[in-house]
Amino acid sequence: MADNHQPHFLFITYPFQGHINPALHLAKHLATTTGAAVTFSTTISAHRRMFSSTPNSDKGFNDGLITYLPFSDGFDEEGNKGGTMHAKENHSLFRTNTKRDISILINDLAAGGRPVTCMVTVFLPWLVDIANQHGIPFVFYWIQAATMFAIYYHFFQGFESLIQAQAGEPSFTVCLPGLLMPIQIKDLSPFLTDTDYDSYFGSILQLMREIFEILDREQERNMKPRVLINTFQEWETDALASVSAEIETIPVGLLPKQTNSSSSGYLFKEDEKKYMEWLDTKEEESVVYISFGSMSVMKKEQIEEMVKGLKESKKPYLWVLRKDNREKELMMVEWCSQVRVLAHKAVGCFVTHCGWNSTLESLACGVPMVCVPQWIDQGMNAKLVESLWGCGVRCEVDGDGDGVVKGEELVRCLELVMGDGEKGVEIRRKAKMLKDKALEAVGGVESLLMLI
């Protein structure tokens, strides 16, 4: 870094809400607490949706804290996301366009007197080459649990053959170095058990392999690589320690902020229903909040079973669901500010798919969970919630193989988590304890961030 320039972090993300949220949260925290300049970049199509109410919404601008500059991924027009293009071909085009446009963006920033001094990316390993070409330090931001990072690390360090050989045995148990919990094949991401490298899952596994190969190369150069991880030290001490000899993991978990959607980079328009006012009318810890993330598509049968169970439980609930699946008499919204909802005193339980953002936000707000994992890292997150932290329970799916959680199973889990029994009291106590641990940890984040 030149002596006459302040630190300038360039954040680059995929155009997914689950990637944008943690990256933007960290970017804002860096800008606010360290005085660094921060530029945030995602695709033109996502940028337009984030700032649809801003004049010239496909152009860059500064909001007084962060500069937002979009890049082209080759699919700039809304709805043109590659059509029937094969996933591998789509990803190749995304990679090529990203490398070109980010290189241009870096040159433009330097020409404008704002040279980048550190590049931070989420799952974009090919940009390491661009950073190296421009002489810019580079750091990965891992937005899943530290446990998932450790699992991938050990997978590529000797466990790949064993895990893939047992891919067809869901109950097969693997014990990975340093991790307290034995892990079953069914808990792992499908990316780790798909050996077809031309498939979507296979292409993601190759992406992860590339990330860890880059970290390996850093070690071969006698440089201990650094990775930012969206977690709290106090939550995942053992997982962080299990890779610490080879990789410097920097936990940068931050308490989620209760902001309105208009200022927090959402890709979706907030529902106009007055759900916060509705929550104000409910008793403390009485409401069930249900959301399965921004990318989830639920089967009609699953929706019907969820409605059946929720009605049978006789508990008030707020459900984030697409418009075409709503029932008019129920409190359902298409999009809401999840953190504001979870932080509301009326919310007593979160029925969640266990994406890491949702899991972290629920833990940080002290809300116990009923877990209904779907895919990717969600099964492992549910295992952490139920088995390691004890702040929730996992719904069992119907045994006929269709993967549906029946209404009566949802009722059982809600009663277990929200009821007056000993188990429910203990689950809620542990949820509050994890929130307290997060509050204690936040004070040390600034010193950790200075390491980058």
Angle at 359 between CA 9 and CA 162, to 5 degrees: 90
| pLDDT classification of 443: cutoffs 50, 70, 90 | low
pLDDT surpasses 60 at 268: no
pLDDT surpasses 50 at 192: yes
Q: Give me the mean pLDDT over the 428-452 stretch.
A: 78
Tokens standing for 226? 């650094």
pLDDT > 90 fraction of the chain, expressed in percent and rounded? 63
Number of other residues whose CB lies within 10 A of the CB of residue 72: 14
pLDDT surpasses 80 at 78: no
pLDDT surpasses 80 at 179: yes
The strand pairing partners of 10, in sequence order, are: 39, 119
Annotated active-site residue 353? The verdict is no
Q: Which of 19, 47, 344, 353 is catalytic?
A: 19
pLDDT > 70 fraction of the chain, expressed in percent and rounded? 85
pLDDT surpasses 70 at 296: no
pLDDT in tens, 8-59: 999 999 999 899 999 999 999 999 888 899 999 999 999 988 888 777 767 8
Q: Give me the mean pLDDT over the 72-85 stretch.
A: 63
Tell me which DSSP letter residue 391 carries: S
User: Which pLDDT score, from 0 to 100, does residue 3 have?
Assistant: 47
- What domains appear along the chain, each with residue ranges and CATH number? 8-143 (3.40.50.2000), 146-251 (3.40.50.2000), 270-440 (3.40.50.2000)
pLDDT surpasses 90 at 228: yes
User: Which pLDDT score, from 0 to 100, does residue 83 have?
Assistant: 47
pLDDT surpasses 90 at 445: no
Helices (H) and strands (E) in the chain, counts: 16, 16
Q: Give the whole-angstrom CA distance, residue 137 versus residue 128.
A: 9
pLDDT surpasses 90 at 269: no
| pLDDT classification of 263: cutoffs 50, 70, 90 | very low
Q: Give me the mean pLDDT over the 262-288 stretch.
A: 75
Query: Lowest-confidence range among 63-77, 111-125, 150-164, 295-309?
Result: 295-309
Tokens standing for 318? 């707020």
Q: Give the whole-angstrom CA distance, residue 69 versus residue 46.
A: 11
Contacts of 325-331 with CB under 8 Å at 24 or more apart are 325/298, 325/300, 331/273, 331/275, 331/278
Query: Which pTM was predicted?
Result: 0.90
> 161 burial class (0-12, 13-18, 19+ CB within 10 angstroms)?
exposed
Contact between 435 and 366 (Cβ < 8 Å) = yes
Q: b or e along 232-263 (b: 16 or more beta carbons within 10 Å of the residue's beta carbon)?
A: bbbbbeebbebbeeebebbbbbbbbeeeebee
